Amino acid sequence: MEMTNSAVGTPAAEWRQAGEPDPHAGRYDCERAKLTMGHLTDDELANGAFMNYDQPLNVQGILSGTHVSPIAWMTAVKDRIRWLSRSLEQAKAERDAMAAKLAELEGQTVNLLSTCHRLALELECLLLDTKDSAPVSRWWDSAMVELDEWHKAKDSVSARPAPAEVHQAVLLTDEDFCQGIEGAGIPVEDVALACAIKDLVQTAVLERNGLKPQAKGD
């Protein structure tokens, strides 16, 4: 067998890559405990094989049950590797199937939310257009409650995740801002108002994104 210097891209099994049937089909469709030396954990088997693979054959020890032949250790390692390889492929296939199902359900959820949103808007328009009020219509209060619950549910689904950490944001000073707006041709008499608006907007944007304002030069 040709040896390579890199394991990058090495498949778990060539027969699987070629679309061929498993040459050991059914042999490893079992629990770990059913394998050779299945009573050992993966780590215990690895350690035992490493320590005993080249030990002299102890026939007396094997007959008395105190020793295991090197070939038995290697057979157990062979079986465990093949079993683990197939178990991993099965787990990956189950993961991919679950991911595909999740994507399908997410698409259905988006469609459902879109439909619910349109229905809520229609109900809001209907309530605004009607001449009835709470004392007149028995549906008024319950409709308002349901609309409020819908908006809470929609906001909880579409809520943005909180930032993992708080960052510092540098704000423009009034001097830098004035230079910028003068270059844009804004009349000087409007600079004070523009600066006030600038401060309000920057603060609102920072608070919305969970950032702490920090004056330029701090």
pLDDT in tens, 50-93: 999 889 999 998 899 889 999 999 999 999 999 999 999 999 99
How far is residue 111's CA from residue 100's CA, in Å, rounded to a whole number? Answer: 17
The answer on pLDDT for 29 being more than 80 is yes
pLDDT at 103: 87
Site of tokens 């698409």:
107
pLDDT value of residue 163: 46
pLDDT at 166: 44
Reported confidence tier of residue 182, pLDDT bands at 50, 70, 90: low
Question: Any idea which residue has 């540098």 for tokens?
Answer: 170
